[in-house]
Amino acid sequence: MTAPDRAETLYFEDFTPGRVFEWGEMSLSAEDIVAFGRQFDPVPLHTDPAAAAQSQFGSLIASGWQVAALMQRMQYECYLKRAAVIASPGVDGLEFRRPVRPGEPLSLRVEVIDRRRSRSRPDRGLVRVLATLVDRDGETVLEKRGKSFFRIRPAEADAR
């Protein structure tokens, strides 16, 4: 399934286990990687193409934190910007599976794993997802197990 119609607001009820959202492609330029690396993760693998060429990776690679930020942006574009999201209490896991190189196109896949309504706050529910960024060959470069609170659809919340 691709991203739903942009006019549709997504509420807790729309995040059914097994539902999949997909979005892509985005990539990071060498300039993006170096700028992010210099500011937030100043390891030569991310800031110095010559030093990175001599590393075990053989070239400049993006910081895993930058790739995670890219994933977050893609999730926003895919569904969060039109969802009744409240906040995220964190992630249950984040795995950097393999390096991301400049210009490498990445696509997003998010699968709803589980959801539960809040017992203490009837206007919301918690949704757990498995989000992956994949390269052109379908190989996973980043995997995140995340969770977020979403509002209950207003008619549903009023009925409780």
Q: Where are the domains of the chain?
A: 12-159
Look up residue 38 and give its DSSP letter: H
pTM score: 0.90
Tell me the residue ranges of DSSP E strands in the chain: 20-26, 85-96, 106-117, 124-134, 140-151
Class of domain 12-159: alpha beta
Specify the DSSP class assigned to residue 6.
Answer: T
Is the Cα torsion angle 118, 124, 125, 129 positive or negative in sign? Answer: negative
Alpha-helical segments (H) within 27-106? 30-40, 44-47, 49-53, 64-78
Question: What pLDDT, on a 0 to 100 scale, did the predictor assign at position 2?
Answer: 47
Tens digit of pLDDT at every position of the chain (160 positions)? 444 455 689 999 999 999 999 998 999 999 999 999 999 999 999 999 999 999 999 999 999 999 999 999 999 999 999 999 999 999 999 999 999 999 999 999 999 999 999 999 999 999 999 999 999 999 999 999 999 999 999 975 555 5
The first and second tokens of residue 114, run together, are 């589980």
User: Quick one: which of 59, 72, 129 has its CA closest to 98?
Assistant: 59
